[in-house]
Structure 1
Amino acid sequence: MIELYTWGTPNGRKISIMLEALRLPYRVHPVNILEEEQFEPKFLALSPNNKIPAITDDEGPDGEPISLFESGAILIYLAEKCGEFIPNDPKERLECLQWLMWQMGGFGPFLGQAHHFNRFVKDPVPYAQERYYDEAQRLWGVLDRQLADKKFVIGSDLTIADFAIYPWSMRYEWQHIDPDKYPHVKAWMERMGHIEFVQRGMQVP
């Protein structure tokens, strides 16, 4: 059984989408980051960076229990454990991993900053809002060009890159982004949104 420690954020939903896609049994343990539960010792033992998500798996490598934090690492682990949603071909695998890292390093952290300055600061910071809005537009443009001739992020098949990027795209209003300006991303979002396991994963917790 996999234990999922998560909250209703894009990073958390990457993993619930993946678990639903893999049809793996799992239990959800909500970690209320608004109440700072991520700083409790029990959770810090699993995620020393005090960030969700984290998992434990009592059937890890060699049949031994394992705990993991960092959403990208968890996605790779689950994909390799089940042999799904990560290409076997070496070149396609690298293509998948580079877009996963693109999300981890850009289409996540920078959009998260846009969320913060657009929604959560008490006093507006125009410079920060403009900086992260500009970067959000740039990142959406990168993704739009990538999807111009593809059904999914790296081609015709779903991968963990799609699972990582999609929950962040669905917070477009927080980023002050108009998806109509990025038609290839919008079409991909609609395709993703019609997949039943994606719908289920987006509702966790």
Structure 2
Amino acid sequence: MSDLEQSRKPVLQAHYDVPKVWTWEGEAGGQFGGINRPDAGARHEQILEQGEHRFQLYSMATPNGVKVTLMFEELLELGIQQADYDAYLIDIMEGEQFGSGFVELNPNSKIPALYDKTENIRLFESGSILLYLAEQFDQFLAKDVAEKAQVMNWLFWQMGSAPFLGGGFGHFYSYAPEKIKYAIDRYAMETKRQLDVLNQQLEKNEFVAGAEYSIADIALWPWYGVLVLGELYSAAEFLNVQQYQHVQRWAKNIAKRPAARRARVVNRSWGENNEQLPERHSRTDFNKLGL
């Protein structure tokens, strides 16, 4: 048995006597164990840098972060230069999301966070940011009431569903200090159910909310699209993602978009050198990456 297979071998957890009142016992282990705590607020002083553009993005190239860089790059691909932006890396593994400057933008200490300098508006939660930008530039959000309703349905479906994929399946499959069969089975089942929901929707439609590319696709692709492309949690074989043929078609088509290729490298500080652009300030920043 390989080291990878051994690491994913289910481990039976000892019986847990649930206390009357839960108390934090310190670091629980796992990849994020060193930064997770049961309280909110800033842990250290931090002044956020600002660039010259109207929009200042503070983020990391996780799926939630890629949603926003994908939106910006799609707007710029349309020639909307007013959507140009500066992007600064917030390394969540180093606890930079708990700096005072970032917490002022997002009291929930999660990436992404966006500051609109022109309007002096602070934005957090990826869905809120996508909707704000769509309305600011009148793009990727249908004008017809019924069509817009479908975009909003699928945008909020993503907001409610992805935590089961990320914090549920992704955590217990990839990051938890022990492999617990019950937890992995529970969240794998829900992830596959969600993929089937998408597959059935995409069997009837080119894009998630209908015939037009929208913020629903932009929100969903960094999670479910990247998952079925085999680039999230190394779980493609485990989840048998090849069976979701319509999700595969949709995911591959979006992956070919120039904006998607650029979006995935912004605020990325891992992988091959040609996949990393920790900070982004200009379209020319991509030149050295061949994008």
For 2:227, give the aligned amino acid.
Answer: R
Within 5 Å, give how 1:126-165 maps onto structure 2: 126-165=181-220
Alignment RMSD (CA, Å): 1.1
Mapped pair 1:87 → 2:142: yes
**Partner SS, residue 203 of structure 1:** coil
Q: Does 1:186 align with 2:248?
A: yes
Report deviation, 1:128.
0.7
**Cα displacement string for residues 77-98 of structure 1 (whole angstroms, at most 9, x for unaligned residues):** 0000000000000111110001
Determine which of 4, 14, 17 is the counterpart of 2:70: 17
Quote the residue 2:271 is aligned against.
Answer: none
The range that moved more, 176-185 or 23-32, is 176-185
- Counterpart CA distance in 1 for 2:65 and 2:239 is 22
Q: Which runs of 5+ in 1 are unaligned?
A: none
**In the aligned structure 1, how far is the partner of 2:220 from the partner of 2:84?**
23
Residues 24-43 of structure 1: pairs in structure 2 closer than 5 A: 24-43=83-102
Unaligned runs of 5+ in 2: 1-53, 77-82, 268-291
Q: Distance in 2 between matches of 1:98 and 1:149?
A: 16
Structure 1 segments of 4+ aligned residues over 6 angstroms from their partners? none
TM-score by length of 2: 0.67
Residue 50 (1) aligns with residue 106 (2): no
* Cα distance in 2 between the residues matched to 1:100 and 1:155: 13
CA distance in 2, matches of 1:83, 1:143: 26
Superposition deviation, residue 150 in structure 1: 1.2
Q: 1:179 deviation in Å?
A: 2.4
* Percent of aligned pairs sharing the same letter: 39
Greater length-normalized contact order (CA 8 Å, ≥ 6 residues apart): 1
Structure 2 CA distance for aligned equivalents of residues 57 and 11 of structure 1: 19
- In structure 2, distance between residues paired with 1:84 and 1:152: 15
SS at structure 2 position matched to 1:197? helix
State the AA in 2 paired with 1:163.
Answer: I
Answer 1 or 2: which has greater helix percent. 1
TM-score by length of 1: 0.94
Q: State the secondary structure of the residue aligned to 1:27.
A: strand
- Provide the residue aligned with 1:111 in structure 2: 165
Q: Distance in 1 between matches of 2:178 and 2:116?
A: 43
Is 1:75 paired with 2:112? no
Once residues 143 and 4 of structure 1 are traced to their aligned partners in structure 2, the CA distance between those partners, rounded to angstroms, is 29
| Larger Cα-atom Rg | 2
Q: Distance in 1 between matches of 2:98 and 2:117?
A: 24
Q: CA deviation at 1:177?
A: 2.5
**Partner Cα separation in structure 1 for residue 180 and residue 90 of structure 2:** 29
CA distance in 1, matches of 2:245, 2:227: 16
